[in-house]
Amino acid sequence: MGQPRPEGRSLACLSITRLSNYFKSLGVRKSKRTLANYLRCLEESYYAILIRRFGFSRKASIQQPRKVFPIDTAYFRRKSMGSMMECAVAVELMRRGLAYSYFKNGDYEDDFVVETEPRELIQVTYASAMDEVDRRELRALLKARQALGGGKLRIISWDLESEVEVEGLRVAITPLWMWLMNPST
């Protein structure tokens, strides 16, 4: 915690147990219930967004670690533009009132799964050219689509606007500014 994240890695997934162990290592004793209440207060005061992992059952989703995003992107260092972009997308999805989560399957993680029909799978990357779009981003989208049984595929980039076809599926690539300004993109 508190360490800058290298570009390309996901934001911290946070479990109450992991948080409890972290505080214990600092010599601070807090119950898991108290820590859960602190996180709930951070979320209710719009200081942070806690995103659940996608699960086909509510119980499975609740028991998994959550991704934590601060509401204010000023908490990131300038070098972590990818993190700031991912945070901005999380805040905008919340502002739009959409139900969303993240999806993790083995080594692959899909940044956002918008759960309203038609389901949309979103990856966020700080890319300005097609050759900068990491194959890992595309593979993560395809793996998530396969596991979830369908959905529209989208990559939100820094300023690249394109459409690519991967394994017969259409992937829309939208610049962040355009996606933020136009809810229908």
Angle at 78 between CA 77 and CA 82, to 5 degrees: 90
What would the pLDDT profile of 50-95 be if each residue is shown by its tens digit?
Answer: 999 988 777 767 778 888 888 888 877 777 888 889 999 999 999 9
Which pLDDT value is given to residue 11?
54
pTM for the whole structure: 0.84
Which pLDDT value is given to residue 185?
63
Average pLDDT, the chain: 85
Q: How confident is the model at residue 181 (pLDDT cuts 50, 70, 90)?
A: very high
Alpha helices, H only, the chain: 16-25, 32-44, 58-63, 81-95, 135-148, 176-181
pLDDT at 2 > cutoff 70: no
Nearest to 42 by CA among 69, 62, 64, 61: 69
pLDDT at 44 > cutoff 50: yes
Q: What is the mean pLDDT of residues 94-100?
A: 93
Cβ partners under 8 Å of residue 72, min gap 6: none
pLDDT at 102 > cutoff 90: yes
Whole-angstrom distance, CA of residue 135 vs CA of residue 143: 12
pLDDT at 173 > cutoff 90: yes
Which pLDDT value is given to residue 101?
93
Q: What is the mean pLDDT of residues 117-130?
A: 89
